[in-house]
Structure 1
Amino acid sequence: MSRRCAAKKRVVKPDAIYSSVVVSALINKVMKDGKKNIARGIVYQALEMVQSKLGVEITEILERVMVNAMPSLEVKPRRVGGSTYQVPVEVREDRRKTLALRWIVGNARKRGEKNTYNRLAGELIDTYGNVGSTVKQKENLQKMAEANKAFAHYRW
Structure 2
Amino acid sequence: MSMYPSHFAEPSLKKETNRSSASHIPVKAATNDLSDSIFYGELKNKLIKYITKKGNKSLARELLTETFETIKRTQIERLILAGTEKENIIIDSEQLLKNAIENARPLLQLSAIKRGGVKYQVPVPVTEKKSYFLAMKWLLDAAREKDRKVHLPEKLAWEILDAACGQGRVIKKKNDLHRQCESNRAYAHYRWS
What TM-score do the two structures reach when normalised by structure 2? Answer: 0.71
Q: Could you list the per-position Cα deviations for residues 29-79 of structure 1 after superposition, in whole angstroms to 9, with x for gaps in the alignment? A: 111111111111111110121122224212321221011110001110000
Work out which of the residue numbers 34, 58, 63 in structure 1 matches 2:55: 34
Work out which of the residue numbers 85, 92, 96 in structure 1 matches 2:120: 85
Secondary structure of the residue aligned to 1:122 is helix
Work out which of the residue numbers 149, 152, 155 in structure 1 matches 2:188: 152
1:102-117 alignment to 2 at 5 Å?
A: 102-112=137-147, 114-117=150-153
Do the aligned partners of residues 135 and 77 (structure 1) sit closer, same or farther apart at CA in structure 2, a change above 3 Å counting? same
Query: Which sections of structure 1, spanning at least 5 residues, go unmatched?
Result: 1-10
Identity level (%): 30
**Conserved 8 A contact 2:101-2:135:** yes
Amino acid at match of 2:159: E
1:60-99 alignment to 2 at 5 Å?
A: 60-99=95-134
Computed over aligned residues only, the root mean square deviation of the Cα atoms, in angstroms, reads 1.9
Do the aligned partners of residues 69 and 12 (structure 1) sit closer, same or farther apart at CA in structure 2, a change above 3 Å counting? farther
Q: Could you list the per-position Cα deviations for residues 4-50 of structure 1 after superposition, in whole angstroms to 9, with x for gaps in the alignment? A: xxxxxxx9956755221111111111111111111111111101211
* Larger RCO (alpha carbons 8 Å, 6+ apart): 1
Q: Could you list the per-position Cα deviations for residues 69-99 of structure 1 after superposition, in whole angstroms to 9, with x for gaps in the alignment? A: 1000111000001110000011000000000
Give the total of aligned pairs.
Answer: 146
Which has the larger Rg? 2
